Amino acid sequence: MAEVAVEELYKIFPDHVVAVDGVSFHVRDRGFLTLLGPSGCGKSTILRLIAGLEKPSSGKVYVDGRLVNDQHPADRDVAMVFQSYALYPHMNCFDNMAVHLKLRKVPREEIQRRTRETARLLGIENLLHRKPKALSGGQRQRVALGRAIVRQPKAFLLDEPLSNLDAILRERMRGDLKALFSAMGATVIYVTHDQVEAMTMSDTIAVVRAGKIQQIGSPAEIYHNPANVFVAQFVGSPRMNFLRCTIESGRLTFGRHDLPLPRAVVSTVGLPANVLLGIRPEHLTVLREATPGALEAQADLCEPLGAFTILHLRLGENAIAALVTPEDAQMGGRRWVEFHGGKIHLFDPATEERLKY
C-alpha cells in the first residue's frame, strides 16, 4: 500500500463552476480517510481527480510520493469502486473480477489464484459462475470490490459504494468493509454523504462543503470539536441545537432564559457580545420537576426511535431537541431542561466559526 496526497487541488468546469476549491490533504500508508459532505459538494470530483478520470485545473496529486498528474488512470496503480458497481453484464463474476488482470497479460495461473483467493475473502466463491443480473445488490457490490482487490493496487478509492443497498445490508457491509480493509492493511479514500459510515469506518474524516474542506480530523475530534456551524450540523444525529445568545455579566442570555458561561470561557477576552450557542441533544437532561439551574420548557413532539426518543421542546421562542428514554418521552406539559455546561459550543454568528477558548 502507499500514501496518497493532494496539494492545492482545483477543478473549474467550462461553465465557471468551481467544483474543487484549493483542497489539500494527506492519507498515510494504510490510512482510511473519508470525504464526507452533502450531494454536489465536490467530494466525488476529488476522488475522480485522484483516479485520473478528471484533469485538475491546477494542483498536484501524489501516489506513493510520485506526482501522477500527467499519468493515465491505468498507470496510477489505484483502484476505484463506483456507486453503480459498473460490472460488465455479459461477463460472469469471475471474468468481471479478472478483467484487469487479463488486460495486463497476467499469467493464467496467477489470475486463477488471485481471483479465487479474493472470492474466498469476500465470501462469493459460489457466485463466480453467475452473471450480474442474477445477483443481489450486496453480491454485486462484493464483486465490484473483488475486481478492485485482485489488482492489488496501492490505494482504493470508493465512491458511495453502499448507497444503493437497503438499510440492513448497508449496516452489515459497513462492518464487513472495515474488517476487510483493516485485515488487508489497505490505504483507502472513501466518499459518502452518510455521517454514520464516515464515523464508524474511518480513522480520519474530511468534511467537504462547496468544494472546500471545512475540517479534517479523527471522528471523535470532528464530533466533539466541530470547526464551524456547518460541521456541527452535518455530523451528529439528531442535529446539534443552536440558540442565538448575548453575553451579559458572565451569562448567556436568550429570550427570558439565561445560562452561566462555561468555566473555560469565563476568563477568555475578546469574545463577541452576540454568540451562537450549540449543544447536542444527548447533552441535555429533561426533568419533570423544577430544579436549580434548569430552564422551563414545553414538550411539543415525540419521535420514538426504539431505545431512545427525540423529544422536541420549546424554550420560549426557541425550539430544541433532546434525547430521552422512552419512559420520559410523553409530550405535552411542562418540562425543565438542564444544559451540560462542559458540552456547550460557542460560535461567532458572523463567521460561523467555533470560538477558541
pLDDT in tens, 114-153: 999 899 888 899 999 999 999 988 888 889 889 988 988 9
Shortest CA distance to 81 belongs to which of 39, 138, 142, 127?
142
Return the pLDDT at 296.
93
> In Å, how far from its chain's centre is CA 201?
9
User: How many separate domains does the chain show?
Assistant: 2
357 in a structural domain: no
Average pLDDT value for the chain = 91
Residue 58 pLDDT > 90: yes
Q: Using an 8 Å Cβ cutoff, are 127 and 135 in contact?
A: yes
Q: Taking residues 250-277, what's their average pLDDT?
A: 84
Q: Is residue 355 one of the residues assigned to a domain?
A: no
Using one digit for the tens of pLDDT, what is the confidence trace for 188-198?
A: 999 999 999 99
Statement to judge: residues 92 and 151 lie in one domain: yes
Q: Are residues 41 and 14 in the same domain?
A: yes
**What's the whole-model pTM score?**
0.90
- Asked which of 203, 228, 253 is the last residue of a domain, the reply is 228
Task: Say if residue 70's pLDDT is above 70.
Answer: yes
Determine the average pLDDT of the residues in 11-40.
95
Decide: 22 and 212 in contact? Cβ < 8 Å.
yes
Do 189 and 35 contact (CB within 8 A), yes or no?
yes
Which pLDDT band holds residue 331 (cuts at 50, 70, 90)? low
Based on the fold, state whether residues 141 and 273 are members of the same structural domain: no
Same domain, 266 and 329: yes
Does the pLDDT at position 22 exceed 90?
A: yes
* H-run or E-run covering 49: helix 43-51
Same domain (yes/no): 44, 106:
yes
- Return the exposure string of 254-268: e unless at least 16 CB atoms fall within 10 Å of the residue's CB, then b: beebbbebbeebeee
Q: What is the pLDDT of residue 74?
A: 86
Please tell me the predicted confidence (pLDDT) of residue 183: 86
Of 17-26, 68-77, 82-91, 94-103, least confident by mean pLDDT is 82-91
Residue 250 clears pLDDT 90, i.e. is over it: no
Residue 265 near residue 271 (C-beta atoms within 8 A): yes
- Asked if residue 299 and residue 222 are part of one domain, the reply reads no
Query: What is the separation of C-alpha 118 from the centre of its chain, rounded to a whole number of angstroms?
Result: 27
* Dihedral angle computed from the Cα positions of residues 345, 43, 192 and 98, in that order, rounded to the nearest 10 degrees: -150
Are residue 307 and residue 198 in the same domain, yes or no?
no
Q: Which domain holds residue 251?
A: 241-347
| Same domain flag for 169 and 300 | no
Rounded Cα distance between 117 and 112, Å, is 8
More confident site: 59 or 165: 59
Residue 236 lies in a domain: no
What distance in Å separates the CA atoms of residue 95 and residue 115, rounded to the nearest whole number? 9
Asked whether residue 146 falls in the same domain as residue 33, the answer is: yes
d(CA 156, CA 51): 10
Site of grid cell 426504539: 306
